[in-house]
Amino acid sequence: MKYQLLAAAVAAALSVGSAAHAQSPDDEFAQIRSQLQTLMQRVDRLEAENSALKVENDQLKLRTEQVSQQLTRAADAPKPAVKAADWPSRITLKGDVRYRHSQTEDERVSGTREQEILRARLSLEGKVNDRIVAGVGVTTSAAPGSPRGGNVTLDDTFSRKSLYLELAYFDWTIAGDTHLIGGKMKMPFERPGQSLFWDNDITPEGLAVTYGAGSLFGSAWSYWIDENVQTGTGASSNSDAKMYGLQVGNRFDIHGDKLTIAASYYDLAAAKGRRPFYGGNANGNSLASTGGLAYDFQVVGLMAEYNTSVGGMPLQVWGDFARNLDAEYDTAFSMGTMIGKASNAGTWETGLAYQLLEKDALFAQFIDADFGGGVSDAEGWVLRSGYAPLKNFVLSATYFKNVGNRNVGSEYDFDRLMIDFNTRF
């Protein structure tokens, strides 16, 4: 390249020389020689600069290749295990403590029963990976661990109170908003308002699938109730009592208000003639002469919940209906309303509900433990009110005005007042 530039420079110099024909030959050659020297010096400088640039370019290429190799090795290397210091960000811990004063007047029993009741719960949920979370929780409960609540009565001379496993589950996000849940879990289906068809403290055991797509939602479950459930004669059966269920529904947006409607079905398998009872108590369901359940439970249900606001206050109206396809006294109906929401400091709520629960409309092991004394064949009213003087602290009162033995036996009045101090964290 250097010689090509030099040839070009000579040609340029000669052309200059021919143009300056008026000068003497010696002057012309001197001028050409000077120009050639200047050009050769410039060529030498350019060659030196080009060599330096080539060296720098080679160094940059080498460095780029080294960085690329380092990145490739880092990507291919196995990911390090999660450090213990990372776990606090993956764990959610929460709990609540409730102190309750209860007064019960049961016409079948003389006098008013007063109780001081405590419930304490603690649970944690951890992120296992990007698609699975797992949870564990414990609660107080009356021995040997009531399925319908964590209440313990304050008595027995300051005796220690028992803790039981309340939750132990995994929640796997299979795809989108579809989840597979297994273990001892929170109820995976929708319930309207303050319906008492299910006790709020029930934590079912088994497998469940939940699904959501836009406004649509649904769930299906298979629960274990009692292994080798006892028959009415007391002999062991080869059948296990299970519960299979399904719910489908939709959430409608009506000019900013929310309407939720859902239909459900559950089947208590291997129930008729058998005793799938906690504590040996059927809680009001009809019994055959052998002592087992007189009916199967194939229960269809329909619920609706409407949420709006009035004067800036949240207002909720709801209804719940169920019917057992295999029983004589087969109908359960509940409806109610709630205005306000006791949550942040200074907020309040109050509501009124009515419920009719015929004797065999629902499997009574899981109905609310307070309405009608926790047994079926009851109807009546529930009045609720609550106020939050501080954040995460709610004072509430609930009054039950019920009648028992509505279908079978002599009717009796059942009244219960509960005053609660609720704290959560």
The model's pLDDT over 162-205, given as tens digits with 9 standing for 90+, comes to 999 999 999 999 999 999 999 999 999 999 999 999 999 999 99
* Weakest-pLDDT range from 20-29, 79-88, 146-155, 197-206: 20-29
Give the per-residue pLDDT at 72.
75
Q: How high does pLDDT run on average in the chain?
A: 89
What is the chain's percent helix, strand, coil content, to nearest 5?
20, 50, 30
pLDDT band at 20 (very low <50, low <70, confident <90, very high): very low
Q: Check whether 142 has a pLDDT greater than 70.
A: yes
Q: Is the pTM of this model over 0.85?
A: no
Give the per-residue pLDDT at 342.
96
DSSP 173-229: EEETTEEEEEEE----S---TT--SS-TT---EEEEEEEEETTEEEEEEEEEEETT-
Q: Check whether 17 has a pLDDT greater than 80.
A: no
- Rounded to the nearest 10°, the torsion over CA 5, 7, 9, 10 is 170
Which amino acid belongs to residue 362? L
Give pLDDT tens digits for 266-323: 999 888 999 999 988 999 999 999 899 999 999 999 999 999 999 999 999 999 999 9
Beta strand 112-127 pairing with 132-140? antiparallel
Give pLDDT tens digits for 59-90: 777 777 777 777 777 667 665 555 556 778 89
Q: Among candidates 365, 1, 297, which has minimal Cα distance to 147? A: 365
Q: What is the mean pLDDT of residues 133-137?
A: 98
CB 136 within 8 A of CB 127: no
